[in-house]
Amino acid sequence: MDVSIDDASSIGVGALCGLGYTEGEARTIVAHLLDCELRGLAYSGLARILSIAERLAAHPRTAQRAEVVRDTPVSAAIDAHDEIGYLVAPIAAELARDKALAAGIAAIAVRDTWYTGMLSYYLEPLADAGLVTIAASNASPWVAVAGGSEPLVGTNPFAMAFPTPGGATVWDIGTSAVTHADAVLAGREGRALPEGVAFDPTGAPTTDPRDALAGALAPWGGHRGSGLAMAVQLLGMHAGSAALPAELAGFGMTIIAMRSDLFAEDGHLEREAAAFAQAVRSSRPLDPAAPARMPFDRSRALREERRARGTLSIAEGVLDALRHLPA
């Protein structure tokens, strides 16, 4: 159903406050979830609050909060103490920005977190600040590797962002054939998954999201995507995670940021990136109705369109569930 962006925000903030988050924390989380909704990624939008509620019911939030446990002029390690990634990743991104702008380069790692969401959400502002950024996060073993059917890696997003005139160029992918969030939402909505994206607990292909969540999601991109997923899993270990993190716990996340003039003269990257973007968008298309585009073009256009409209289309069942979450 259609709902105004303001109303959607109020519903989300109210639900999260009912789960024990402060209003400030709730607004931080909801800002991220609404950006997902604005970009057409409903499975990572307000529906995620239902999963947060289930996770907190099984593992209540403790009194500990994220803290920096190692710090140098160009790096920091954050122990999240089981804090949700939506609240910890902004701290990591701010540290990456400040250190990279001061020293030229910075690397920040987060351990013991969960649900980091869209990495592009954290990288876009850093790129707008003139930083080239890379981020990755491992997760619980929900995904098989190429050639197997047992869960061994997370959905393991990987993202990069570059300062480009007219708006950052951001590339952000998950390394599973279908996201864990989409499988969870499919189970809530009673819809099947596409063919070829999941295995049941016996290793047989399945379109049942509940069997997929009990079994394994397939990797994206064959051996190439599977290799990237394994590399992200190892990066998570470098940040402090276990090889196979527990269910929705113990994720490891890394953000690397570099000033755009670290290697070439000031303005070179931005100028050449703009020329490259123009070349891509004006290149000869296979289908005139679907011209080539730069990463993030679709997301940016859809977000602007929905902001201008002022409304979002959110499943009525999701809104009802959020309104009736037990405190």
Query: pLDDT in tens for each of the 327 residues of the chain?
Result: 899 999 999 999 999 999 999 999 999 999 999 999 999 999 999 999 999 999 999 999 999 999 999 999 999 999 999 999 999 999 999 999 999 999 999 999 999 999 999 999 999 999 999 999 999 999 999 999 999 999 999 999 999 999 999 999 999 999 999 999 999 999 999 999 999 999 999 999 999 999 999 999 999 999 999 999 999 999 999 999 999 999 999 999 999 999 999 999 999 999 999 999 999 999 999 999 999 999 999 999 999 999 999 999 999 999 999 999 876
DSSP 130: T
Nearest to 251 by CA among 96, 80, 135: 80
Q: Strands of 75-218 (E only): list them.
A: 75-84, 105-114, 131-137, 158-162, 169-173, 198-199, 216-217
Nearest to 246 by CA among 93, 138, 85, 104: 138
Q: Answer yes or no: are the C-beta atoms of 9 and 34 closer than 8 Å.
A: yes
CA distance 41 to 152: 25
SS (H, E, C) 165-198: CCCCEEEEECCECCCHHHHHHHHHHCCCCCCCCE
Alpha-carbon torsion (286, 289, 291, 295), positive or negative: negative
Q: Answer yes or no: are the C-beta atoms of 107 and 74 closer than 8 Å.
A: yes
CA distance 233 to 315: 33
Q: Answer yes or no: are the C-beta atoms of 65 and 83 closer than 8 Å.
A: yes
pTM above 0.75, yes or no: yes
> 67 - beta bridge partners?
79
Question: Residue 55, by phi and psi: left (phi above 0), alpha (psi -120 to 50) or beta?
Answer: alpha
The H-or-E segment that residue 222 falls in is helix 222-239
All structural domains of the chain: 2-61+303-324 (1.10.1530.10), 67-176+219-259 (3.30.1370.60), 268-299 (no CATH)
Q: In degrees, to the nearest 5, what angle opens at C-alpha 174 toward C-alphas 322 and 120? A: 75
Write the DSSP string, 250-306: -EEEEEEEEETTSSS-TTHHHHHHHHHHHHHHTSPPSSTTS----TTHHHHHHHHHH
Task: State both tokens at 280.
Answer: 């891509």
CA distance 115 to 306: 25
Using DSSP bridges, classify how beta strands 131-137 and 158-162 pair: parallel, antiparallel or unpaired. antiparallel
